[in-house]
Amino acid sequence: MPKFAANLSMLWNELPFLDRFGAAARAGFQSVEFLFPYDFQADEIAQRLKAHRLQLVLHNMPPGDWAAGERGTASWPGREDEFRASVALALQYASALGTPHLHCMAGIPPAGVSEAQARATLVGNLRFAAAEAQRHGIRLLLEPINHFDMPGFFVNRPRQAIALMDAVGSDNLFLQYDIYHAQRMEGELANTLQDLLPRIAHMQLADTPGRHEPGTGEIHYRYLFDRIDELGYTGHIGCEYKPLDTGPGGTDRGLTWIAAHGQTLALQGEPA
């Protein structure tokens, strides 16, 4: 049965961020993920994880200037020193929080940078980051993000990510497979998961259209969860969706999708 991790950047948004850890634990989650920890001290987050007996399974490296529209600097020529500093900061947090996976956002290359330039920069940066993460016992992940939600994002299809990973040539770089992004770009979910499973270290979910809970859109999640089990996937699936019910308590009311799809949070075992 899939192990679900609550995404605290998307769920319980009526609560302050540090209070979402308790909400996740009360809902029955044993694992969490989120986008970025850098607005908080690592020990603040560590205290919440310990208090609520939660495992943090994933967070992202710093994305550059998020407010200005940057979504990662890994494919920006000329910003390699900044990128390397972001790797060091991300690993500092991940080591303090016991995070086994770091996601490196490929980014949106600026105007005037050719595809070849962006690709070469990204490959070099991923090679560096994967080696640094390996020294800390942490896996580096690369996620394709659909170009409807994030126009211009450099990596938007799973097999494009695999080709980049092959060019990097590291045994510590894995695919982060987001079912929602994959469905928006190409569909063919079950067969793609079967083909690429050996390269996948983390999954995420949301339905489409709307990026809401499973069961609110077109993806046949009951079948997909069974197929993921059959394939032998043992990692986590991050619940990175926007609750359809946006009122206070909407996240908790929306969690009925879990039982409705034949799943449970109660038998997840020890966090991986």
CA 29 – CA 19 distance, rounded (Å) = 14
Q: Which two tokens stand for residue 212?
A: 């809401």
Transcribe 73-134 into DSSP letters. STT-TT-HHHHHHHHHHHHHHHHHHT--EEE-----PPTT--HHHHHHHHHHHHHHHHHHHH
Beta-carbon contacts of residue 85 (< 8 Å; ≥ 6 apart): none
**52: CATH:** 3.20.20.150
Give the alpha-carbon dihedral of 203, 2, 50, 256, to 10 degrees. 100
Q: Is residue 269 part of a domain?
A: no
The model's pLDDT over 116-148, given as tens digits with 9 standing for 90+, comes to 999 999 999 999 999 999 999 999 999 999 999
The model's pLDDT over 148-172, given as tens digits with 9 standing for 90+, comes to 999 999 999 999 999 999 999 999 9
Given the residues 33, 132, 213, 240, select the one marked as catalytic. 240
Q: Is residue 125 part of a domain?
A: yes
Q: What global pTM score does this model have?
A: 0.95
Beta-carbon contacts of residue 198 (< 8 Å; ≥ 6 apart): none
| Confidence grade of residue 184 (pLDDT, cut at 50, 70, 90) | very high
Q: Is residue 267 part of a domain?
A: no
The CA-based angle 194-239-206, given to 5 degrees, is: 70
CB 73 within 8 A of CB 82: yes
Question: Does the pLDDT at position 270 exceed 70?
Answer: no
Q: Is residue 119 part of a domain?
A: yes
Model pLDDT, residue 174: 98
Given the residues 143, 186, 188, 218, select the one marked as catalytic. 143
Q: Is residue 212 part of a domain?
A: yes
Pairing between strand 55-60 and 139-142?
unpaired
| Confidence grade of residue 1 (pLDDT, cut at 50, 70, 90) | confident
Find the mean pLDDT for residues 174-188.
Answer: 97
Count of alpha carbons within 13 angstroms of residue 192, beta-carbon side: 21
Report the chain's mean pLDDT, rounded to a whole number: 96
33 is an active site residue: no
Q: Is residue 268 part of a domain?
A: no
DSSP element (H, E) containing 177: strand 173-178
Q: Is residue 92 part of a domain?
A: yes
Question: Does the pLDDT at position 31 exceed 50?
Answer: yes
CA 217 – CA 221 distance, rounded (Å) = 10
The CA-based angle 109-123-108, given to 5 degrees, is: 15
Name the residue among 64, 93, 202 with its Cα closest to residue 139: 202
Question: Does the pLDDT at position 271 exceed 80?
Answer: no
143 is an active site residue: yes
The CA-based angle 9-27-105, given to 5 degrees, is: 25
Distances from the Cα of 161 to the Cαs of 12, 14, 111, 241, 266, in angstroms? 31, 34, 22, 22, 34
CB 189 within 8 A of CB 158: no
Instruction: Give the count of domains, the chain.
Output: 1
Q: Is residue 266 part of a domain?
A: no
Domain interval for residue 126: 3-260
Q: Which two tokens stand for residue 142?
A: 């690369």
Residue-level length of the chain: 272
Number of helices (H) and strands (E) in the chain: give both, helices first.
10, 8
